[in-house]
Amino acid sequence: MSQSLSEIAETQTYHLGQLTPSIVLYEPSFEGWLSAVFYVYASRLQDHASLQLTAQDRYVPSLIT
């Protein structure tokens, strides 16, 4: 029997070491930065070692990561 991707995703458990880095993009203004900081704390991401706050105009996606 083959399982669909959604069925596999529901049964998989992921540990913190398996997660991809958290990149939060924000509008390059003071209000955009404040919104991003609020989002980080509301989502409880502040303790993630891989968290990155990056302005949209300075973000360059990496093909390797």
- Written as tens digits, the pLDDT of the chain (65 aa) is 444 445 545 555 555 555 556 888 999 999 999 999 999 999 888 888 888 889 999 988 878 76
Distance CA 54, CA 5 (A): 31
Provide the pLDDT for residue 3: 46
Residue 24, number of CB atoms within 10 A of its CB: 15
Cβ–Cβ under 8 Å, residues 40 and 24: yes
Coil, helix or strand at residue 22: coil
Distance CA 25, CA 52 (A): 8
